[in-house]
Amino acid sequence: MQIETIKAYHVVQPFVDGPYRMSKGREADAFDAVIVSIASDSGITGWGEMAPLGNFYSAAFPAGVRAGVVEIAPHLIGHDPRGLANIGRLMDTVFKGHPYIKSALDMACWDLAGRAADVPLVTLLGGKESDTAELYKVVTHGSVDAMAALAKRIVKDGFHRLQVKVGGNVHDDIERVTAVAASVPKGTVIFCDANAGWTPYQARQFADATRAIDYTFEQPCTTIDENMSVRRMLDKPMVLDESVTHSW
């Protein structure tokens, strides 16, 4: 089996609940996505996607994906899409860095491999652990009343896990989270996500004032060291994402 054609489609996917707002005034109206199709000479096509959250969330940006796929694609023509290790080496040889661009092509090759084997990709990757996966939904940054109303509507729609955006003015965010927590049923899982918007001092201020609320603190500060300094005084779980840039 060989890769015969690679196509990239630009698809803008607007957010159902309006603008996605986070700390430091960052805002996006849609996922600016690239959908990649890789067709083989056997008539099987695999699909992949990369949809960065604007230019500001991570080291990835939509225009870079569109340009990078076009640069890499010709070098993969004629190669077996099921040879994932070889495909990865080829991409790294012809295009240094930018793993977010390569991920759309890698994903399409995995999808194609699963279709060629006539098994779901989850089976190819080792099998599923559960029949269901619980999702959470974002309560985007806004006024106290708007965030409380959105949280209530999200729970009414059947979601039981909320990611509440914080990371702005600490005192305002204390009010926001207090209102959100009061607007949803007891037992609703809440993540307070600052998207690295606070200093350790601000994060500790927020944590001290919200001790009575049950939540998980998500990415309050920028660096691992800053977050660990907050974690040491925290009586709640903490999760990190933006600051986890390599493995140890």
| CATH number of the domain bearing residue 21 | 3.30.390.10
pLDDT of residue 247: 64
User: Of 95, 124, 153, which residue is a domain's last?
Assistant: 124
Clarify whether residues 120 and 13 are in a common domain.
yes
Clarify whether residues 67 and 12 are in a common domain.
yes
pLDDT in tens, 207-237: 999 999 999 999 999 999 999 999 999 999 9
Give domain status of residue 185, yes or no: yes
Identify the three-state secondary structure at position 41. Answer: coil
Is the pLDDT assigned to residue 93 strictly greater than 80? yes
Give 245's pLDDT tier (boundaries 50, 70, 90): confident
Clarify whether residues 94 and 30 are in a common domain.
yes
Question: What is the pLDDT of the chain when averaged over all its residues?
Answer: 93
Average pLDDT over residues 126-144: 92
% of the chain exceeding 70 in pLDDT: 99
Strands 137-139 and 238-239: unpaired
pLDDT of residue 27: 86
Clarify whether residues 9 and 118 are in a common domain.
yes
pLDDT of residue 22: 86
pLDDT in tens, 153-184: 999 999 999 999 999 999 999 999 999 999 99
Is the pLDDT assigned to residue 43 strictly greater than 70? yes
Strands 27-28 and 20-21: antiparallel
Clarify whether residues 62 and 118 are in a common domain.
yes
Give domain status of residue 129, yes or no: no
Structural domain range at position 224: 137-239
Beta strands in the chain (DSSP E): 3-14, 20-21, 27-28, 30-40, 45-50, 137-139, 161-165, 189-193, 216-218, 238-239
Give domain status of residue 248, yes or no: no
Clarify whether residues 100 and 146 are in a common domain.
no
Name which of 181, 173, 135, 168 is nearest 27 in CA terms: 168
Clarify whether residues 119 and 52 are in a common domain.
yes
pLDDT of residue 156: 96
pLDDT of residue 54: 77
**50 burial via Cβ count (<10 Å: 0-12, 13-18, 19+):** buried
Q: What is the pTM of this model?
A: 0.84
Give domain status of residue 130, yes or no: no
Identify the three-state secondary structure at position 38. Answer: strand
Give domain status of residue 19, yes or no: yes
User: What's the number of domains the chain is made of?
Assistant: 2
CA angle 238, 239, 242 (to 5 degrees): 135
- Residue 18's CB: how many other CB atoms inside 10 A? 12
Clarify whether residues 144 and 117 are in a common domain.
no
Strands 137-139 and 45-50: unpaired
Lowest-pLDDT range of 8-12, 14-18, 110-114: 14-18
Give 243's pLDDT tier (boundaries 50, 70, 90): confident
Clarify whether residues 176 and 233 are in a common domain.
yes
